[in-house]
Every structure is written in structure tokens, then in C-alpha cells.
Amino acid sequence: MDSKKTVLVSGGAGYIGTHTTVALIEAGYDVVVIDNFSNSEASALDGVEKIVGRKVVFGEIDTCDIKALRGVFERHAFDTVIHFAAYKAVGESMDEPLKYYQNNLVSYMNVLEMMKEFKRPNVLFSSSATVYGNAEELPVTEESPRQPATSPYGNTKQIAEDILRDCCAAYEGFRGIALRYFNPIGAHPSALIGELPSGVPNNLVPFITQTAAGIRQSLSIFGNDYNTPDGTCLRDYIDINDLARAHVAAVDRMTDGRMQTRYEIFNVGTGRPVSVLELVTRFEKANGLKLPYRFAERRSGDVPAVWADTARANKELGWKAERDLDDTLRSAWEWEKHIRHIQ
Ligand code: UD1
């Protein structure tokens, strides 16, 4: 394997990890996936293998276990790591902050430590639009100020960005890119991979598809009295396959020597705000069904509106969100039907 064309993907069995693994392999990269299945299933990798038509190199590894992680670095030559492995439930992070700080930061620092020790230069970190908090100006650019995090989960994203910035400044040969994801939704067009939330989904689209499948009685739309056109929150929903391609563009940029500074940040969104109500209506129309929903109290911690200025990603990464929202919403429903065995 050519180390320049090989990528270690931690958390590669998860929602973003599986789609990114497919996109990397389709772009000609070799991928080494590690995951501890703490919030994913081995079957997700079967889906990846079916799509790409070959075996994926995989190790069941907890990135918090530095000895196990060192073994991965010893066995495989790769220049680039994409670090997805992390917990991601905002509410749970409020109840169990130490679980989040421990897992999300220790695993991340282990990865960076190994990269330093083994002189592996490139790291791509999964950050989130959550770092912008309740932004004063919209859309947000990468220069928009970060707001103090309102959850331990959000705080781990901010801290991890800062750790990466500091490592890139201090360690010769280190290069880092932080991708700030907006709201990833949808599934692969094959319906062989998608999001697999455990328990009651926190995020909007999995709740919608589970309601459509009859698993949830009714969708609650959190707040219809925001200062937005229809009173519901505005978000930037980005197709998961487009998001996956942004990782390939970022890896290309790191390995081609096109980075202008050693640490870069990119917004990964569509640049288009969509309200919760609009998303629900579009889902209904795109899939020809009706969703039971009601308006409920605002959810604490939600910001009224956030969407991306994507100019930097469009220009520097040469990447743009392309997939049509209706197709994305159809893919979300196809995936839900696939996992629930609904015709
Ligand atoms: C959430 C997290 C964010 C994280 C992201 C990961 C919060 C406050 N933010 O973003 O930190 O990076 O997930 O995917 O949790 N909604 C409903 N009914 C529902 C679920 C959601 O009306 O049952 C609304 C929400 O109020 C929000 C929109 O749908 O306006 C999107 O919600 P969600 O999918 O949870 O994403 P974010 O809150 O934007």
C-alpha cells in the first residue's frame, strides 16, 4: 500500500465514517478502518463492502486504548488519519460530562500522539457547526467568532480544534484540517448504509423516518415562535454523500501539498437555510406520505438559525454540495425502510 494513498479512519463504522470510507475507496484511496462498535454495528461495514465490491481492512480497536492503537500504526503505513471516533449525544453529554471529556479527548490525543511518534503528517478532524453557537451574523464564515460551548459535547469539539491548531504550530511536519459539519442527513443511494441511531433519536431526520415507519407516534417540532419566516428553526441540512466527498477533497488537499497554512478550517454545508417545518413538508412530498406532527416547546440549547457560508470550501477544497434535498430525503426513507424491512 502507498502510504500517501492510504487513510486510517477511526470510527469508520459510524454514520459519517461509513459514507466517507466509501467515498475514499471510490476516489482510489486505500482505507484502514478502526472502530470499537460503541455506537455502531459490524453490519455497517458489510454495507460498505457491498457498495465498493471488496473487503475493507478493519480492526476492532478502541482509540482510548493507546497500546492497541500503537499496534495499528505499527502494522499499517498511512500518511493521513480521519478521526471520527467520538460520542455525539448533546443531552447525554450534559448528564455525563466526564464520559464525554474522557472518551472524546483521550481518544483524540492518543491518535495525535501516535501520529507524532510515527511521523504521520496529516489529520482531519470532525468538528461541528455547534462551535458557532447562536451566531450574530448569518451565514457563518470560518472567521465568525466561536461562542462559548453550551454542552460538554460542544466543548470537546472546540477543545479538539484548539489542540489541533497547537499541534500543527508546534510539531514539524504536522498538518491539520478541521471540517465543521452542519446538519448531515440522508443515506447512500444504494440504501446499504445510513444512520443507525440507538434508542430514541435526538436528531430531526432519524426521528422523522422512525415516525414515518410507525416506531414513533408523532414528531414534535421544537418551537414555532422563533424569529424566523415560519417560526421554526433554520438549519443547513447537508447530504451525507456530499459531506463524505468533502473529506476526500480535504485529504486530496493535504496530500497534494496545496495547504496554505498548516492548520485550516472549512465549513461543510450547503449555504441554504431550511426550516424544520419546510423539511417535514418536503419529506412528506418527496416520499408521498403524511407525518403526524405537533408543535412543542422549544428544546433547550437550540439556536434559532445557523447556516454556512461555503465560499472557502468551494474555492479552496474545490468542493460543493450537489445532491438535491428531495433526493436526500428520499434516501433517508429508503434506508429506514431497508432496516425495518418495510416494502
Ligand atoms: C445537533 C446538536 C449539535 C450536533 C448535531 C449532530 C443540539 C442543540 N445540537 O444539532 O451540537 O453537532 O446535532 O448531528 O442538540 N428538531 C425537532 N424535533 C425533533 C428533533 C429536532 O423539531 O424531534 C429540530 C431542532 O429543534 C432543530 C432541528 O430540528 O431546530 C435540527 O435538530 P437536530 O437534528 O437535533 O440538529 P441540531 O440541533 O441542529
Q: Is the peptide bond before 97 cis (omega within 30 degrees of 0)?
A: no
- Do 248 and 324 lie in one domain? The reply is no
Beta strands in the chain (DSSP E): 6-10, 30-35, 57-60, 80-83, 122-128, 175-181, 183-185, 219-222, 234-235, 237-239, 263-268, 274-275, 293-296
Best residue for ligand 1 mutational test, from 100, 182, 203 (most atoms within 8 Å of Cβ): 203
- Overall domain count for the chain: 2
* Pairwise CA distance, residues 247 & 12, whole Å: 13
Strands 293-296 and 234-235: what pairing?
unpaired
Mean pLDDT of the chain: 97
pTM: 0.98
* Pairwise CA distance, residues 97 & 207, whole Å: 25
Give the residue numbers annotated as catalytic, written as ranges: 153
For residue 111, count CB atoms less than 10 angstroms from its CB and return exposed for 0-12, middle for 13-18, buried for 19 or more. buried
pLDDT of residue 223: 98
Query: What is the total residue count of the chain?
Result: 343
Residue 88's domain is classified under what CATH number? 3.40.50.720
Structural domain includes residue 196: no
pLDDT of residue 245: 98
Cα–ligand 1 centroid distance for 63 (angstroms) = 27
Range(s) of the domain holding residue 28? 3-185+237-268
Give the Å distances, CA to CA, from 123 to 251, 267, 342. Answer: 9, 16, 40
pLDDT of residue 118: 98
Structural domain includes residue 142: yes
Nearest CA to ligand 1 atom 38: 302
- Do 135 and 221 lie in one domain? The reply is no
Sign of the four-CA dihedral 246, 247, 253, 256 = negative
pLDDT of residue 265: 98
The three cell numbers of residue 287 are: 416520499
Regions in the chain scoring below 50 on pLDDT: none
- Ligand 1: does its nearest atom lie under 6 Å from the Cβ of 154? yes
Structural domain includes residue 190: no
Q: 281 near 251, Cβ under 8 Å?
A: no
Q: 30 near 5, Cβ under 8 Å?
A: yes
Which is nearest to 249 in space by CA: 163, 155, 124? 124
- Ligand 1: does its nearest atom lie under 6 Å from the Cβ of 299? yes
Cα–ligand 1 centroid distance for 215 (angstroms) = 19
- Do 123 and 35 lie in one domain? The reply is yes
Cα–ligand 1 centroid distance for 302 (angstroms) = 7
pLDDT of residue 343: 87
- Do 169 and 209 lie in one domain? The reply is no
Taking the chain, what is the end-to-end CA distance rounded to the nearest angstrom?
Answer: 42
